[in-house]
Amino acid sequence: MALGFFDGLHRGHAELVRTLLGLCGPRGLTSSVFTFANHPEHVLKPDKPFAYLGTVEERLALLDEMGLDEAHLADFTPELAALSARTFLEELIAGRFQAKLLVVGPDYRFGARGEGDVALLKTWTGQRGIELVVVDEVVMGPGKISSSRIRTLIQEGDVEQAASLLGRPYSLGGIVLSGRRLGRTLGFPTANLPLPAGKVQPALGVYATRVRALGQTWEAITSIGLRPTVSPDETVPVIETHIFDADLHLYGETVTIELLKFIRPEKRFDSLEVLRDQIQADLEQVRAWHRDAEQCYEKTRVGDVPLFLLSSRRFAQASLHLVFQTRATPRQLARNALLAEVLTATCRAYPGRTRMALALDNLYGASLDSHAGKSGDIQTLVFSVDALARWTDGSSPFQAACDLLFSVLLDPDWDEKTQAFRDEIVESERSNLLLSLLARANDKLKWTYDRCLELFCGEKVHGLPAIGRAEDLKTITRDDLLEGYRELMHGMQLSAYLGGPVDAPMTEHCVALLNRLPRAVRPRLHPGLLPSDCPAADECRDVTVKTVEQARLALAYDGLPAYYAHQGGPAVLLNSMLGGDVHSLLFDVIREQMGLAYQVFSMSQRFLSSLFILAGVAPEKLEAAEQAIREQVGKLAGGQFDDQLVQRSKMMLISALKAAGDDVSSLLTREVNGRLTGRLMCLKDSIRQIEDVTREQVIACARQMRLRTTVILTGQPEHQAKEKPIL
């Protein structure tokens, strides 16, 4: 059970809830929160008006979306306010809820006059045998994330910063009222809402916004204010929103307005003409802002399938990614990977590989691919098309490629006699995948890495390749594939990502295609819960002797933060400092200074909370190389590195982040990964997170690392005999 008010459910709250989910999953516990419908300040300071970041309904909806099993809501009353801390714990936490695990933030207070705190909780839970986890506060920018800080930002109009801390734009919702039609008279029809009672009032002025209405999201401009030019005596602010490029009839409809950027404060104009001119200028400015912002947002939902849109005019190529995700057993990994290859090989409209390839080549080099990936125990199947949005003859290769993608998924090249996928296609794709899997071992470094991963994860699916094991691939049957296909169509989480120079007709076309998918209640993955944790297996050291010129070495360390933890920033920087690129300790010391290896680098395994180090080493230098590599890890833990290493690593990471902003596919991949980890952030915030990492945080992160698995591939049998103490 997590305890707190969770107003706005900002990133700090989300960290707490995800920690709870991550702990409850493996323990088989029901995850829940206990919270109040009204803020205690309402009762304790009734004369001081309290403004909420979100309504109760919004809070519960967000908690539900995160995957919480239960939410216990109580009204905060004077009677509850008078309850002593001990009574609160005994009667509610232990008595009514029978909590076995509590998750709180470091500042959590409870009981009359806030007499209860984390110290008391520690004592009490210790006595009761209840597990207590105190989640560190999440710091972003100059201080910790708190609801009060966010309220202030909104009141000052800094909705961008507020969104960074919340993890989503601040929004205001309500029912559109019939107004004086002044906007329409001026040439800019608006949908008007009253300011919702009890919610934080933003600074009065003009904002770039998005509007969710009638099942879609629209780019818009919003004025929040008293309308001093036309209503000098007005005292109650009104929200007036003009939606770009859409003539919607919204009177009586419920809409939600997301505040994205503050443009200018409200002001009074001398005349309607001057007002009209200013509105026109505001419209142009906000339209340009939307065009250049290149933000990815949920455009609409087709059944259970969200369609995310990232519009950009800088590129000629558009992309559509259909991302299926599921928790998979080892056999399902193989089945799904084979299914994806079979589906994209051919379809009824273009039966045969050559016809498919010809169709794509005729679309000016469009590509249609499937890719199987894995994050922990979650398999991701991405079916994607990339194609030019428009050709000089006015045609849209992209639109045609999207049609082909849906033909592939919905109208596969079926064997009518067997009512199954064609055997010849299945067998050739099976052979292709098997060969690819086996051929990985031709690359000695990959072989070493795969072996290390397998030993690190033990028997768990986390350690398997994304396409599964050869023994499973060989035995997948026709019926298995059919079952996999049904699961793809009905039983996997699915999200669609559309990016590039995509106009409204193209978007509508994609929506129409998504509508062709069978309607299903698809499961949702919840970061914290899934992907699930994978504690490292027992420590081991494995030496294999083969005929190789160069020895290969793999070291796997655990102890890094969970994939959903906000404290992932220090781990990212640590990896870059240790072995991320040519500036790193491993490259500079092991390769350049000591000449012990040509190839040496590290890679973090976010979903395993681990870090792997890989090296190709001359056999006679193996012992020295292993020792030296471990010493570099020790240097980080001991703080024996200079600031130049920190700065160079930060610069490289930030440069790479900025580069991602110049590539649609990279941006879409960031979105997919952000949602899988629950740490979706705009590029600006990701950059700031790296900038804010301190030396001390890196050292603390390094000190948590423990070497669990060592794998050596060598040509010299004598290496097998030597035992090495684990550092």
Tell me which residue of 32, 103, 24, 98 sits closest to 63, measured CA to CA: 32
Q: What angle do CA 168, 171, 175 make, to 5 degrees?
A: 145
Q: What angle do CA 573, 579, 583 make, to 5 degrees?
A: 85
Q: Which is nearer to another protein, 224 or 712 (CB)?
A: 712
Contacts of residue 128, defined as CB under 8 A and 6 or more positions apart, other chains included, come to 94
Element (H, E) at 614: strand 610-617
CB 442 within 8 A of CB 699: no
Closest approach of another protein to the CB of residue 465, in Å: 14
Round to whole Å and give the CA distance between 259 and 201.
12
Closest approach of another protein to the CB of residue 316, in Å: 5
CB 232 within 8 A of CB 184: no
Question: The tokens of 573 are what?
Answer: 């920087």
CB 155 within 8 A of CB 205: no
Q: Which is nearer to another protein, 181 or 348 (CB)?
A: 348
Q: Which is nearer to another protein, 162 or 453 (CB)?
A: 453
Contacts of residue 713, defined as CB under 8 A and 6 or more positions apart, other chains included, come to 444, 447, 448, 451, 544, 546, 548, 551, 552, 553
| Residues in touch with another protein (CB under 8 A) | 292, 314-317, 352-354, 357-358, 360-366, 386-388, 391-392, 397, 424, 427-428, 431-432, 435-436, 438-439, 441-444, 546-550, 581-583, 588, 591-593, 595, 597-599, 616, 618, 644, 647-649, 651-652, 654-656, 658-659, 661-664
Closest approach of another protein to the CB of residue 653, in Å: 9
Q: Decide if 240 is catalytic.
A: yes
Round to whole Å and give the CA distance between 145 and 165.
6
Question: The tokens of 467 are what?
Answer: 């396409």
Q: Which is nearer to another protein, 659 or 726 (CB)?
A: 659
Q: Which is nearer to another protein, 418 or 655 (CB)?
A: 655
Residue spans of alpha helices (H) in 440-576: 444-457, 470-475, 478-490, 504-514, 568-575
Question: The tokens of 7 are what?
Answer: 């107003």
Closest approach of another protein to the CB of residue 544, in Å: 11
Q: Which is nearer to another protein, 366 or 681 (CB)?
A: 366
For residue 179, which phi and psi values (nearest 5 degrees)?
Answer: -115, -160
Biggest alpha carbon distance in the chain?
Answer: 92
Question: The tokens of 509 are what?
Answer: 């076309």
Q: Which is nearer to another protein, 235 or 442 (CB)?
A: 442
Query: Which one from 160, 240, 341, 454 is the annotated catalytic residue?
Result: 240
Half-sphere exposure of 134 (CA within 13 A, CB side): 13
Helix (H, G, I), strand (E, B) or coil at 585: helix
Q: Which is nearer to another protein, 65 or 443 (CB)?
A: 443
Closest approach of another protein to the CB of residue 433, in Å: 8
Closest approach of another protein to the CB of residue 296, in Å: 17
**Judging by DSSP bridges, how do beta strands 101-104 and 131-134 pair with one another?**
parallel
**Judging by DSSP bridges, how do beta strands 2-3 and 32-36 pair with one another?**
parallel
Query: Annotated catalytic sites, by residue?
Result: 240
